[in-house]
Structure 1
Amino acid sequence: MPDVVVNGRFLSRPITGVERYAGEITRRLEGRIRVCRPPDSAIGARGHLWEQMRLPRLVNGALLWSPANTGPVVVSRQVVTVHDVAPLDHPEWFEPRVGAWYRWLLPQLVKRVARVITVSQFSKTRLMERLGVPADRVVAIPNGVSGRFHPRPSAEVTRVTARYRLRAPYLLMVGSLEPRKNFDVVARAWAEAGPAFDGLTLAVVGDTRQTLQAAVPDPRLGWVRRLDDVHDTDLPALYAGAIGLVIPSLDEGFGLPLLEAMACGTPVVAARAGALPEVAGDAAIFVDPHDPASVAGGILRLVGDETVRQTCRARGLERAAAFDWDRSASMTWQVLSDAAGGAA
């Protein structure tokens, strides 16, 4: 069996789609891998220093798998998962120092490592076009969806939504609201729809403090509910209780909340951007993420028509069933084994 070490830097970060991916695959490879975790103090710049300076000494000749976009550039016996190339395509979405670091790191890293994994055909194409990665060195392995994301009983939904003082009907947005998540277009869509959205709440799950304070500075605008500290185990019930999920991102390497929502039986309004059409297939209502009127129209179509919601629900459940973390882990292990020169 090949000797594989996992770059465990993702374990010290809040859970977003990247960290969920890394955790799901790593758990399924237990017994075949060793995880190197940085000290708790290694966050931010210290985390980068640990990854670039300390981690290479801990690998000790094994194959390194870096599952969360970054890895030590001096380790060539490495497989890195790059989820998207947004810092290169759209540096304006990132804090200048962060963007500059990724614009230096990613080209160096993908040029030196043995293999690159990514999570969608969209991201594979962008890696090939933007960074010149040969097709035979990058493998697209789609994400899965955890079995705990499924339609939940009404009693559980009632209990969880009451805990967060959330009343139906509500739309859900999930994720850290960096600029590419495009909250601003939803705010403008809400303003454009006017009374048509009366009684509807937008519940935003994630670290929303700075983003929403900038976008919605007046706390009297009661259509937004910030849910900054949602426990991960409550997320399936919040999906299941929502009238729909809205994911208006300008770019996504995959879009895991879309898949999780569909698995919970929640209809989705999604941007026709990035990998979202690839993941959703025909199971979502697609909108133009640059056009508030298009976003408002998609939301109105969803909330105003039970037949549309039932169609999206049925198609979403069927679509989500095609994505499986066990299969993703098996495909990942095959890439790692091939890169290590061992038998799968």
Structure 2
Amino acid sequence: MKRRIGIVTPWYGADAVGGAETVARELAARLAEEHTVTVLTTTARAFLADWDVGYYPPGLEQAPTYEVKRFPVDARDASAFNALNARLLGLSPAAWPDIPLIDEPTDAFIDESINSLALEAYLREDAVRHHDALIFLPYLYGVVVRGIEAYPGPAHLLPCLHDEAYARLPRIRAAFHRATTLLMNSAGEAELALRLYGPGILHKMSVIGLGIETESSSEVAPPDAVAPYVVYVGRRDRTKNVDFLVDTFRRYRRNANGHALSLVLAGPGDGSYDDRDNGVVDLGFVDPGVKGALIAGAVGLAQPSVNESYSRVIMEAWGKQKPVAVHAACLATAMAVDACRGGLSAASAEEWLDVFETFERGPSEELAAMGIRGQRYAQQFADWSHVVPTLLRAIFGRRPAPPNGKRIDQFVQTLEFGDAISDYALHVRHRLHELGYASDIVAEGMGPLVADEAIEFAPGAFAQTDALIYHHSIASKATRAIVGFPGPKTLVYHNITPAKFFEPYVPAFAELLAGGRAATGPLLAHFDRLVADSDFNADELRELTTKPVRTIPVVVDFRRFDCLPDPGVLAARAEVVSVLFVGRVSPSKGIARLIDAFEAYLCANPSAHLTIVGRYDPADRYYQELEMTLLMRRMERAVTFAGLVDEAQLTAYYASADIFVSLSEHEGFCVPLVEAMFFDVPILALGATAVPETLGEAGVMIDARTPIEEIGALMRLLGEDPELRAQVIAAQRRRRSFYLPDVGERRLDAMIAELV
């Protein structure tokens, strides 16, 4: 199907040079091969020209295969932008997380950059009628950010994100959350976005790569006098870490080991690094053909930049089967090299010295193998014939399937806001709708915040149902109707908390729990399929039946975190070490022991604060005991029971937490552990019931015998020891790949397919 696609970008034309500008031109040309493309831009000339001066005439112009529609550029207060930009550039990376909390307004970065009110009016009033999709390309200034704010349709953002101070500005953060689709150049850029904006963007983020238009290489080759050589191609200045590269290479050449390797630099920039005595050859700007010849003749490419969303020159080098060396601190380039083993990564000067040694004296077979592996990677992520279909699938391919005429309903005993089983049922319903099924949630009880999300159970509730998913819990008056349902049905077991935890506090509820557990065994015979969300839960069912039980871990719906974090919560926890627990306040959750351990931590760090986020009943005896404990120990100012919170508040609690601590004694899965992993919050947890299975090798686990004082000491280490925190977060990042939305949805889709 031929689509009408608009590309929104601040500058466009032959004079607009740079990576993002090149992407815009090449993407427009490639999309126009099969679709109707219009570039929507301003009359400004280029990034290096005045941003508020029109150079091109407004109106429509015809490119060879697509249209360019230009809108007048607006006047701006350049001094206001420059002052704020200078302040942002002057901040140390350690201060970047606090940018959302700074007192002074930051809107000038957007409103006094490059803007066009006429373009915004077109986006607001006309664009939906004229385009099937709009792709917004950087830079992340006013044209893009305000354009996304103005456009009422689905905005698809190709951000070319860098790990810089500006990325933390509230309106840029809001643009990522407002966008319908995030089109990422690389897995590293996607990982950076996840770290900056949280897991709420996972469902709409796709790694598409970026195509590279290959240039025919010039017959001109570098002088034989510099061979063998490593080449750097790109902007020649400090911001690209070229000073570090050159200084380190000089050290390499000064070593008295007969080194003959040279370093050749090519690209735009002021001044020269040329130092032939130490093997540094600075050729300055070269034409594309010479650039290609330089890469083809090199033993390898050096890319020392720590701040890239993608590196076109790396893909060009891999296209010529050349190994590359990258800075280990740059996610986009280091993750690409690690993924395909197409080169080397190094951080310290000593590690870069080893890189040069490998390029000069390493086994030629291994260097050649690196180049071949890199070429295979580039063929997937740098070939427009692969990139364009991936981009189009990301934009158009995730639309709901047409109705298929079948209905799959679910039953839960009670649907409550913030409850893990309820959230899971809501996500399952959403996925069923995406797959074309009609679906409702039937419940006996509904909390006020989700009353519109379910149908109250009544006789005949399943009369139109083709298949049924039953989330087993305590005994229910719907059980008879569910057992008697004649169609295919699946029981999903999330576990039932043992009654012993509640007997001292709520005996009547303990009886219901005991009844639910006692009824489980006889109930299993009436279901076609049995599913548990952990092996721990599955093993409980296997003790009651000989039927096969399938484990399908909970699909965590991260979309509720696709919002800006609540600024009040962030501000309140900015000056403390924030310890977080998320879960309902109940005896099985180990909160009394958590308070004991936190008290031990307070002795070492009086500024720490514990927040317990989750439902509680002020009249509940267990909760009252906890409050009395805090009063008696004078800890009431150091511990907050936040209760139920909205999405923005929950996002802020996770985003501001320094440690997540769970001493829960009984968990069938524990969704908050997964959420904490995706927010990069180091986890300390009691390794009981399903917790070891959920965490795998991630987090720090203790057992029931661990002394309170030791738990408090571990809190201090996890909250304050940078090296330990980094190790724990790294392990959690590895584990969280098991819970990525697409992985979970494949498991869920398989269960749904078996139902019908």
Q: TM-score, normalised by structure 1?
A: 0.81
The Cα of 1:238 is off from its aligned counterpart by: 1.4
- Which of 649, 657, 660 aligns to 1:234? It is 649
Q: Structure 1, unaligned stretches of length 5 or more?
A: 44-49
Contact 1:87 1:102 in 2 (8 A): no
Are positions 1:26 and 2:26 aligned together? Answer: no
Are positions 1:187 and 2:590 aligned together? Answer: no
The Cα of 1:111 is off from its aligned counterpart by: 2.5
* Matched ranges for 1:137-148 at <5 A: 138-148=549-559
SS in 2 for 1:225: strand
The Cα of 1:123 is off from its aligned counterpart by: 1.4
* Matched ranges for 1:140-159 at <5 A: 140-148=551-559, 159=567
What residue number does 2:545 align with? 133
The Cα of 1:269 is off from its aligned counterpart by: 0.5
Contact 2:414 2:445 in 1 (8 A): no
Are positions 1:75 and 2:485 aligned together? Answer: yes
Deviates more, 1:269-278 or 1:301-310: 301-310
The Cα of 1:229 is off from its aligned counterpart by: 3.4
Q: 1:180 to 1:329 in 2, by over 3 A?
A: same
Matches of 1:229 and 1:41 in 2, distance apart?
18
Deviations 1:185-231 (A, max 9, x none): 11222344451242111101011344443212255522211111310
The Cα of 1:90 is off from its aligned counterpart by: 6.4
Are positions 1:245 and 2:623 aligned together? Answer: no
Are positions 1:62 and 2:466 aligned together? Answer: yes
Q: CA RMSD in A?
A: 3.4
Matches of 2:525 and 2:705 in 1, distance apart?
34
Q: TM-score, normalised by structure 2?
A: 0.39
Are positions 1:101 and 2:505 aligned together? Answer: no
Contact 2:536 2:689 in 1 (8 A): yes
- Which of 740, 746, 751 aligns to 1:324? It is 740
What residue number does 1:283 align with? 698
Q: 1:37 to 1:148 in 2, by over 3 A?
A: closer
Q: 1:192 to 1:20 in 2, by over 3 A?
A: same
Q: Once the two structures are aligned, what percentage of the paired residues are identical?
A: 21
The Cα of 1:239 is off from its aligned counterpart by: 0.8
Are positions 1:307 and 2:718 aligned together? Answer: no
Letter in 2 for 1:286: M
Contact 2:429 2:441 in 1 (8 A): no
Matches of 2:625 and 2:418 in 1, distance apart?
23
SS in 1 for 2:681: coil
- Number of residue pairs aligned between Structure 1 and Structure 2: 328
Matches of 2:521 and 2:502 in 1, distance apart?
14
Structure with greater contact order relative to length (CA < 8 Å, sep ≥ 6) = 1
Matches of 1:147 and 1:229 in 2, distance apart?
17
Contact 1:171 1:203 in 2 (8 A): yes
SS in 2 for 1:260: helix
SS in 1 for 2:439: strand
Are positions 1:225 and 2:653 aligned together? Answer: no
Deviations 1:317-342 (A, max 9, x none): 221122133433332332343243xx
SS in 1 for 2:468: strand
What residue number does 2:627 align with? 216
Deviations 1:100-133 (A, max 9, x none): 431343223322111111111121112212xx23
Q: Which has the larger radius of gyration?
A: 2
SS in 1 for 2:669: coil
Contact 1:190 1:197 in 2 (8 A): no
Matches of 1:40 and 1:165 in 2, distance apart?
39
Contact 1:4 1:65 in 2 (8 A): no
The Cα of 1:249 is off from its aligned counterpart by: 1.1
SS in 2 for 1:173: strand
Q: Structure 2, unaligned stretches of length 5 or more?
A: 1-403, 448-455
Letter in 2 for 1:261: A
Deviates more, 1:86-95 or 1:303-312: 86-95
Matches of 1:144 and 1:57 in 2, distance apart?
26
Q: 1:112 to 1:293 in 2, by over 3 A?
A: farther
Q: 1:39 to 1:319 in 2, by over 3 A?
A: closer
